[in-house]
């Protein structure tokens, strides 16, 4: 099993070994560049989820869950929103109430006509009986 090479330790070791000030400066600059690149890579890895989400959702990440909820609501209610389903239910109830009221009205009219016809037949029978 190989051990991981530590660039920072190697550069610091080489700085300690050399007496050349220009070489030390170059090595320190290399170390600074490597640390800056490393910090940017670390930042990119830390923000990878956010960056990917932003990239994939193309700026819609704040509304993404709201859109999922909207779609789920439509799927649950046959493509309609809750308000539309409520209106449809109210119209169906109003239609049913209208049918019920019309049915009761027809029933009452038939009962009244039946009473009138029976009363008329009874009166007519009474008059024919008296003759």
pLDDT digits (tens, 9 = 90+) for 78-110: 778 888 888 888 898 888 888 888 888 888 888
Segment 11-59, tens digit of pLDDT: 888 889 989 989 989 989 999 999 999 998 888 888 887 777 777 877 7
Q: What is the domain partition of the chain in residue ranges?
A: 1-58, 80-131
Q: How high is the pLDDT of residue 95?
A: 87
Q: What is the dihedral of CA 109, 112, 116, 117, to 10 degrees?
A: 60
Segment 24-35, tens digit of pLDDT: 899 899 999 999
Q: Model pTM? A: 0.36
DSSP, res 2: P
Q: How high is the pLDDT of residue 94?
A: 85
Query: ∠ at Cα 113 (109, 115), nearest 5°?
Result: 115
Cα–chain-centroid distance for residue 57?
15
How far is 96 from 13, CA to CA, in rounded Å?
Answer: 91
Q: What phi and psi, each to the nearest 5 degrees, are found at residue 121?
A: -65, -40
């Amino acid at each position: 099993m190989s051990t991981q090479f530590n660039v920072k330790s190697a550069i610091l070791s080489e700085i300690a070994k050399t007496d050349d000030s220009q070489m030390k400066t170059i090595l320190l600059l290399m170390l600074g560049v490597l640390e800056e690149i490393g910090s940017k890579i670390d930042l990119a890895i830390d923000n990878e989820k956010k960056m990917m989400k932003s990239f994939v959702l193309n700026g819609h990440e704040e509304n993404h869950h709201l859109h999922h909820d909207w779609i789920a609501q439509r799927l649950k209610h046959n493509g309609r929103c809750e308000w539309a389903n409520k209106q449809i239910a109210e119209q169906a109830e109003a239609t049913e109430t209208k049918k019920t009221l019309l049915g009761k009205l027809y029933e009452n009219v038939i009962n009244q006509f039946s009473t009138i016809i029976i009363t008329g037949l009874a009166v007519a029978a009474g008059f024919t009986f008296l003759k």
